[in-house]
């Protein structure tokens, strides 16, 4: 008989920023593991979310899309209410929405600092708070924050981003500590460089510069694919992770191992 501990049948997951990239891959992977999935993103990425929702329905589970800008607290609370109304429950929240702005520390403006911290740290906190209120009533749940390998090492020209991801990793521990008594586990995943539309748009280096960087820093020898993060998310979302909480699971092709 197959091991049932990774089965998400009957659960509902909400994934933020799932119109493309890692969020879209995680949404599809959670659906393949059996979960019904609420995809969400800002309006301009909703067409991508709808496409993923159609692919998910082909897996035999339910899926819907929601316009959710994690900068808007009223929008967060409304979306969580709508997901519970539509699916009857909310078991898994994946805080994936995030932005990157590369700038030397000396040139960072207040606007850029606030945009990165608000999207990558404040937004996930208030999504977690809204989801936890529902999960407490249901007797438990799973929250997964998409942090970064840059939570534990420095990245040049990424002051606000690194601060946001390190903050999210320690926020994960605080929420884990406060909410384990409600049966809610809170964990983070720390991806290394992963080929997504957002990463490709931000990386303006030549092919030679990229190859030199990967050869010096990435034991895997290439960038990761979003699908290579799915197993980590399914595990952290699953019944088998009931005692795993407050953990930052680094999945980075060995970048931080050297
Ligand atoms: N790609 C990587 O190498 C990498 C590495 C480590 C961590 N991450 C993290 O993984 C997550 C996904 O990154 P990605 O590479 O897939 O990026 P991406 O830019 O391709 O996708 C990010 C998604 O988040 C959405 N988003 C942005 N701001 C939002 C907001 N205010 N409200 C709701 N949605 C919003 C975007 O519309 C987009 O669909 C991010 O948190 C990122 O920091 C990525």
Please give the Cα distance from 257 to 201 (Å, whole number).
Answer: 27
Cα separations in angstroms, 209 against 82, 172, 196, 212, 216: 46, 34, 18, 5, 11
Please give the Cα distance from 13 to 111 (Å, whole number).
Answer: 32
Contact assessment for residue 175 and residue 126, using Cβ atoms and an 8 Å cutoff: no
The dihedral region occupied by 247, where left means phi > 0, alpha psi between -120 and 50, and beta the remainder, is beta
- Buried residues in 47-56 as b, exposed as e (16+ CB within 10 A): ebbeebbeeb
Average pLDDT over residues 113-124: 98
Residue 161 annotated to the active site = yes
CA 147 vs. chain centroid, Å, equals: 7
pLDDT tens-digit readout, 125-154: 999 999 999 999 999 999 999 999 999 999
Domain 12-251 indexed as CATH 3.40.50.720 = yes
Number of alpha carbons in the 13 Å side-chain half-sphere of residue 28: 19
- Which H, E and C letters describe 191-227, residue by residue? ECCECCHHHHHHCCCCHHHHHHHHHHHCCCCCCECHH
Q: Which residues contact residue 167 at a Cβ distance below 8 angstroms, ignoring those fewer than 6 apart? A: 117, 120, 121
Contact assessment for residue 236 and residue 185, using Cβ atoms and an 8 Å cutoff: yes
Residue 149 per-residue DSSP state = G
Nearest atom in ligand 1 to the alpha carbon of residue 223 is 3
Average pLDDT, the chain: 98
Is 204 or 58 the better-scoring residue by pLDDT? 58
**Which residues form ligand 1's pocket by a CB distance below 6 Å?**
16-17, 19-23, 41-42, 45, 68-71, 96-99, 119, 146, 148, 191, 193-194, 196-199
Nearest CA to ligand 1 atom 36: 17
Nearest atom in ligand 1 to the alpha carbon of residue 120 is 41
Domain spans, the chain: 12-251
pLDDT tens-digit readout, 159-209: 999 999 999 999 999 999 999 999 999 999 999 999 999 999 999 899 999
């Amino acid at each position: 008989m197959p091991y049932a501990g990774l089965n998400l049948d009957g659960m509902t997951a909400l994934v933020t920023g799932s119109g493309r990239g890692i969020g879209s891959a995680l949404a599809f992977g959670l659906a393949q593991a059996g979960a019904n999935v609420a995809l969400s993103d800002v309006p301009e990425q909703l067409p991508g979310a709808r496409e993923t929702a159609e692919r998910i329905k082909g897996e035999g589970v339910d899926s819907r899309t929601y316009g959710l800008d994690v900068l808007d607290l009223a929008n967060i609370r409304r979306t969580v209410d709508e997901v519970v109304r539509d699916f009857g429950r909310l078991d898994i929240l994946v805080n994936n929405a995030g932005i990157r702005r590369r700038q030397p520390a000396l040139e960072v403006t207040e606007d850029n600092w606030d945009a990165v911290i608000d999207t990558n740290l404040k937004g996930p906190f208030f999504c977690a708070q809204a989801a936890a209120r529902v999960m407490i009533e249901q007797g438990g749940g799973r929250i997964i924050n998409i942090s970064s390998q840059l939570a534990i090492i420095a990245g040049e020209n990424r002051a606000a981003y690194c601060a946001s991801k390190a903050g999210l990793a320690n926020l994960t521990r605080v929420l884990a500590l406060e909410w384990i008594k409600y049966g809610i586990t809170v964990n983070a995943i720390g991806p290394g460089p992963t080929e997504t539309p957002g990463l490709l748009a931000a990386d303006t280096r030549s092919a030679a510069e990229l190859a030199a960087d990967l050869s010096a820093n990435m034991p895997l020898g290439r960038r990761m694919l979003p699908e290579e993060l799915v197993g980590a998310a399914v595990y952290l979302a699953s019944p088998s992770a009931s005692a795993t909480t407050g953990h930052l699971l680094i999945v980075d092709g060995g970048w931080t191992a050297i």
